[in-house]
């Protein structure tokens, strides 16, 4: 089924939804373990930002200034080499069989499928490809002449920003959300309540406490992919 003829839209959050872990957090820890980043300072900041994210109080622009900085300080060749090792050692072990099966089921049904994630596209594009998901909506790191600047380009794909980015992407395909007979979004996080609230089939996946309570109140299904 082509994009033009797909009647169902399926969106997947990535971290702690399809993945049994957080790729953004793990990328930072991977760089620490490789000796690329100084352990004590970076680990403390990385953990603090992760706790803010889980609590729903993260300042996304402050965080991105922290998270995108390492991309700007290293060559594309080094980054690509490190990411290949990161995929082998950190990401593939977090790609559980139930998550792979869920994605495969939606793809085989002919749904228009996309990953929609706050984590930047450098980290997540290879992960989306590994799942076989053809489209990725992610926070975009700014590049100039093929090099990362450490800044963000456009709207961060976070909270209400996911809705902005979704509408932009669908518009570029000649679609609107209302065009689809069914729209499904799988997520674990309270931060995704804005997008969960506008699709026809919101699904809580191994949800945090806030999302679990909201899903129960609204009658949304909850599943586990662990």
**Where does the chain show beta strands of DSSP type E?**
8-12, 112-120, 135-144, 147-153, 182-187, 201-205, 222-223
- Considering the candidates 13, 22, 188, 192, report the single residue annotated as catalytic: 13
Q: Which residues of 41-62 are buried (b: 16+ CB within 10 A; e: fewer)?
A: ebeeebeebbeebbeeebebee
Q: List the one residue out of 199, 206, 202 whose CA is nearest residue 218.
A: 202
CA distance 175 to 2: 13
CA distance 61 to 20: 25
- Considering the candidates 15, 22, 111, 208, report the single residue annotated as catalytic: 15
Question: Residue 2, SS3?
Answer: coil
* Catalytic residue list contains 15: yes
> 6 Cβ partners below 8 Å, 6+ apart?
110, 111, 112, 180
DSSP characters over 83-103 = HHHHIIIIIGGG--HHHHHHH
- Per the document, the length of the chain is 226
The catalytic site residues sit at: 13, 15
């Amino acid at each position: 089924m082509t994009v033009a003829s797909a009647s169902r839209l399926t969106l997947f959050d990535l971290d702690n939804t399809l993945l049994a872990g957080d790729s953004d957090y793990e990328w930072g820890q991977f760089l620490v373990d490789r000796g690329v980043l100084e352990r004590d300072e970076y680990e403390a900041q990385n953990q603090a930002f992760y706790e803010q994210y889980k609590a729903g109080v993260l300042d996304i622009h402050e965080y991105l200034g922290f998270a995108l900085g390492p991309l700007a300080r290293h060559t594309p060749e080094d980054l690509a080499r490190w990411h290949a090792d990161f995929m082998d050692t950190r990401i593939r072990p977090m790609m559980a069989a139930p998550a792979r099966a869920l994605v495969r089921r939606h793809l085989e049904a002919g749904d228009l499928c996309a990953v929609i994630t706050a984590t930047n596209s450098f980290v997540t594009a290879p992960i989306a490809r590994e799942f076989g998901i053809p489209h990725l909506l992610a926070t975009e790191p700014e590049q100039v002449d093929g090099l990362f600047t450490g800044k963000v380009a456009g709207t961060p794909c976070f909270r209400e920003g996911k809705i902005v980015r979704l509408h932009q992407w669908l518009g570029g395909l000649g679609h609107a959300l209302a065009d689809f007979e069914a729209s499904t979004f799988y997520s674990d996080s309270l931060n995704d309540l804005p997008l969960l609230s506008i699709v026809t089939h919101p699904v809580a996946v191994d949800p945090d406490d806030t999302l679990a309570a909201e899903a129960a109140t609204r009658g949304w299904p909850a599943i586990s992919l662990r």
